[in-house]
Amino acid sequence: MTTRTATCRCGALTITCTGEPVRVSVCHCLACQQRTGAPLAAQDRWRGADVELRGDAKQWTRRADSGHAATYSFCPTCGSTVAFVIEGWEGVTAVTMGAFADLNIPAPKFQFTSIENTTGSK
């Protein structure tokens, strides 16, 4: 079984993901642009049971355009967001693609510009 490790910039917060992501997507919404400082964010969604977070993480929750709560886990030292969960996606954890050193992950199949999905469905 494949195991992939994602870390924050300073390495204090680590996420180990086992198996394959259930979904890989990119998002161009303003909130994701603000989170990444880039015109898009790429994330892999994993079954929550396949994700192990190690280290001291801080959480921050915001209400998304969909009305669902999005809770982000980030490193209190370097500020890197490494994972998030979204209400309505029970049992699924999103991990920021850029946190993986090994990018041998399937290509994104979904793309969002806001709460509207432009190339696939939820």
pTM: 0.80
**pLDDT at residue 55 greater than cutoff 90:** yes
- 29-33, 48-52, 56-60: least confidently modelled range: 29-33
Q: Say how far apart CA 96 and CA 6 lie, in whole Å.
A: 8
pLDDT interval class at 110 (50, 70, 90): low
Residue 122 — very low, low, confident or very high, per pLDDT cuts 50/70/90? very low
d(CA 90, CA 80): 23
Per residue in 74-106, pLDDT (tens digit) is: 999 999 999 999 998 899 999 998 899 877 777
119 conformational bin, left if phi > 0, alpha if psi -120 to 50, beta if neither: alpha
Residues 6+ apart with CB under 8 A from 34: none
Please, what are the domains in the chain? 3-101 (2.170.150.70)
